[in-house]
Amino acid sequence: MNCQEVRKNMPDLLNDGLPADAASKFRDHLLACRPCREEFQELNETWLRLGVLEEEQPGPELRRVFYRRLESYKKELARRQPGAWQQRMARFLPGWPLPAPALRFAAAALIVALGFSAGFFSGAAKKNTSGQLAALNREVDSLKQQVSLSLLSQPSASARLQGLSMTSQLQDPDPALLKTLLTVLDNDPSVSVRLSAVDALYLFADREEVRAAITDSLSRQTSPLVQIALIDLMVALKEKRAAAALKKLLAGNQLIPEVRQRAQSGISQIL
Amino acid sequence: MPDDEHVMVQVRDGRVEMLAILFERHHVRIYNFFLRLTANRPLSEDLTQELFLRILKYRHTYRGESKFSTWMYQIARNLHIDQLRSRHPEIPIDDLYEEPPCPRSCPAEEAESGQEADLLARAMERLPLRKREVLLLSRFQNLKYGEIAGLLACSVESVKVQVHRSLKELRRHYLDLQGGTR
């Protein structure tokens, strides 16, 4: 491999990678050629240094507006397809003309009557089916919990946010997941993730242990944004024990005026 | 978990609510792509929002065999170009991509700031858009050179040359901002 070929291949070694034999020739050349070695070192150093640029989180409004627009789009789509069920029927029953309104009404009545009869005679089967459905729901819930836990342990903040967002779909989170959510609230390095953890925990705030842990967490928070989010949450929950935590917070000297004001107004609303 | 391509095929076929999965997976990275290109947070949020709307609007054009991320970045690039055109209708788009941008801050501000990440972000901003974009796509969006070549409608060799040159120029700006101490 000559100098020109080595220079041409330098970006490959940074990103896509080279086949083993080419990589070996590349390294052999670098060992023998000082200018190429120095040039590659500079490129590699700059490429690696770019890793210090961290991903920035967009504001929460982005997500809210997206979901609002998606809902509008879905509604608009449904509105523009008024005959969707007719199209489906036509696919299943090609060539069957739609009957006159009176006949349609009679057919509908017949279907309803058949439905009632079937329901009456299949009471036992229904119990069985609902049992199976409940088991299936539990399995899905358990699977979602595992995925959430896995995402929450990822190094990427966006993956952890995804994990938090998934917890909102859970009916009955197990203690391990709740413990992880509380750990995220206390220790996650990203403020955005800690803020999302406050939102996620709100859904499970009917549990005594969650309310107690949220109250305790206030004294450990250093970000004013998270402090304000927790104060708002405790006020929304009318958590009486929070008054003591807020007073303790106010006793500290390091509060910014906005947090101090929110804590004072929080105490008056809780008591 | 279903891969992006599988999810996008379902969005294309009418299950538009599945777009939420793609949004959750990609919106932060896309936002950062726009942020590094524009250095403007509100604009980057608008562009990110608009990108997902365009995915809905053009969902029927998605072909299952192409990689979703390549298709998405094609839309993202087009959006950015549209935005540039609307701001500078008098300048040809190629010129906007090649011209070195105006420095964002004054030297006094730069002197105060010594953080590596900050210096590097400023050095990135000094790169012409063309070079900044190719670095963003290869280093931060994890696209292969072949995929970037498809996006930029050029050869893989040309992408590699651009990456090489962009890194060298970035290093020059970085050392310059650092005050030539290294």
- How many C-beta atoms surround the C-beta of residue A151 within 10 A? 20
Task: Give the confidence band of B44 by pLDDT, cuts at 50, 70, 90.
Answer: very high
| Contact criterion met (CB < 8 Å) for B31 and A58 | yes
Q: Which residue has the higher pLDDT, A224 or A93?
A: A224
Q: Which two tokens stand for residue A84?
A: 């969707």
Q: Does residue A74 surpass a pLDDT of 80?
A: yes
Quick one: what percent of chain B has pLDDT higher than 90?
Answer: 63
Average pLDDT of span B35-46:
94
**Is 70 exceeded by the pLDDT of residue A111?**
no
Among candidates A7, A14, A70 on the partner chain, residue whose Cβ is nearest the Cβ of B20: A70
Instruction: Give chain B's count of helices (H) and strands (E).
Output: 10, 0
Whether pTM > 0.80 for this model: the answer is: no
**Cα distance from B86 to chain A (closest Cα, Å)?**
23
> In which band, very low, low, confident or very high, does the pLDDT at A21 lie, cut at 50, 70 and 90?
confident
In angstroms, the separation between the Cα of residue B32 and the nearest Cα of chain A is 6
Chain B CB contacts of A143 under 8 Å are none
Residues of A in contact with B24 (CB under 8 A): 161-162, 165
For residue A69, what pLDDT band results from cuts at 50, 70 and 90?
very high
| Cβ within 8 Å, pair A56-B31 | yes
Averaged pLDDT score across all residues of chain A: 80
Question: What are B104-121's pLDDT values in tens digits?
Answer: 544 444 444 458 888 999
The model's confidence at residue A199, banded by pLDDT at 50, 70 and 90, is: confident
pLDDT score of A110 = 59
CA distance A178 to chain B (A): 22
Band (pLDDT 50/70/90 cuts) for residue A126 is low
pLDDT of A59 above 60: yes
The listed range with the strongest mean pLDDT (A108-112, B2-6, B124-128) is B124-128
Q: Which tens digit of pLDDT belongs to each residue from B118-129?
A: 899 999 999 999
Nearest to A74 among B17, B29, B44 (CB): B17
Q: Verify whether the Cβ–Cβ distance B28 to A74 is below 8 Å.
A: no
Report phi then psi at A174, rounded to 5.
Answer: -85, 165
Task: State the pLDDT at residue A94.
Answer: 47
Given an 8 Å threshold on Cβ–Cβ distance, is A8 in contact with B144?
no
Q: Do A66 and B49 touch (CB under 8 A)?
A: yes
3-class SS at B120?
helix
Distance between A164 CA and the closest CA of chain B, angstroms: 11
Q: Do A62 and B116 touch (CB under 8 A)?
A: no
At residue B182, does pLDDT exceed 90?
A: no
Pairwise CB contact (< 8 Å): B139 & A47: yes
Band of pLDDT at residue A45, cut at 50, 70 and 90: very high
Please tell me the predicted confidence (pLDDT) of residue A190: 85
Of the listed ranges B20-29, B52-61, B67-76, B172-181, the least confidently predicted one is B172-181
What's the pLDDT band for A44 if we cut at 50, 70, 90?
very high
Task: For residue B175, give the nearest of A42, A258, A135 by alpha carbon.
Answer: A42
Q: What is the helix (H) or strand (E) element at residue A168, kind and residue range?
A: none
Residue A263 near residue A228, CB atoms below 8 Å: no
- Quote the minimal CA–CA distance from A252 to chain B in Å: 30
A79-88, A262-271, B92-101: which is most confident? A262-271
Judged against a pLDDT cut of 90, whether residue A5 lies above it is answered with no
CB A58 to CB B14 under 8 A?
no
- Crossing angle for the helix pair A191-202 and A224-237, to the nearest 10 degrees: 10
Q: How far apart are CA A95 and CA A78, in angstroms?
A: 25
